[in-house]
């Protein structure tokens, strides 16, 4: 089979993967400057909404498995960025996670740089293209 560059570029999902790798590489470097991973940034961001999240809910929100999130949360709790709910809760009861003041301060430090990385100029797009792209991506994330 002989393919051209246009054939490859016509594969939307492959283009999405390539774009995602570039965005992940750029943001991972930005997060690393602040001692964060992308998943940790996601945890801080979602907890900053003030909504109560259990570990399982938070894992779904940041698109990782709950088992994978356990170690991440342990490290964030040790760093004083996240607090777990009551340690004396009974089995089957919600144990929400909360953002600590240190977590909120770190997010406030990182957030402007992430916003800058998302500006149309940095993305090589205009405002309408950014809005349209984000709308499409959010529909894809939500599964339809």
Residue 55 tokens read as 């570990």
Which residues in the chain show pLDDT less than 50?
Answer: 89
The confidence score (pLDDT) of residue 143 equals 76
Distance from the Cα of residue 84 to its chain's centroid? 20
Domains in the chain, CATH or no CATH each? 5-141 (1.10.10.10)
The confidence score (pLDDT) of residue 142 equals 79
Give the span between the Cα atoms of 97 and 76, in whole angstroms. 11
How many CB atoms within 10 Å of residue 28?
A: 13
The confidence score (pLDDT) of residue 85 equals 78
The confidence score (pLDDT) of residue 52 equals 86
- Contact, 125 vs 133, CB < 8 A? yes
pTM: 0.84
User: Is 123 exposed, middle or buried (CB count within 10 Å of its CB: 0-12, 13-18, 19+)?
Assistant: middle
The confidence score (pLDDT) of residue 86 equals 61
């Amino acid at each position: 089979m002989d393919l051209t560059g246009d054939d490859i570029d016509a594969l939307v999902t492959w283009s999405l993967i390539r774009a995602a790798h570039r965005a992940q590489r750029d943001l991972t470097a930005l997060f690393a400057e602040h001692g964060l991973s992308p998943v940790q940034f996601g945890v801080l961001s979602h907890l900053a909404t003030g909504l109560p999240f259990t570990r399982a809910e938070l894992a779904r929100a940041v698109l990782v498995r709950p088992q994978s999130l356990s170690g991440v949360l342990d490290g964030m709790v040790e760093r004083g960025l996240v607090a777990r709910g009551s340690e004396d809760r009974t089995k089957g009861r919600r144990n929400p996670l909360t953002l600590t003041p240190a977590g909120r301060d770190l997010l406030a430090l990182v957030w402007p740089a992430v916003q800058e990385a998302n500006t149309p100029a940095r993305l090589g797009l205009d405002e309408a293209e950014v809005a349209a792209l984000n709308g499409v991506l959010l529909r894809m994330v939500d599964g339809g």
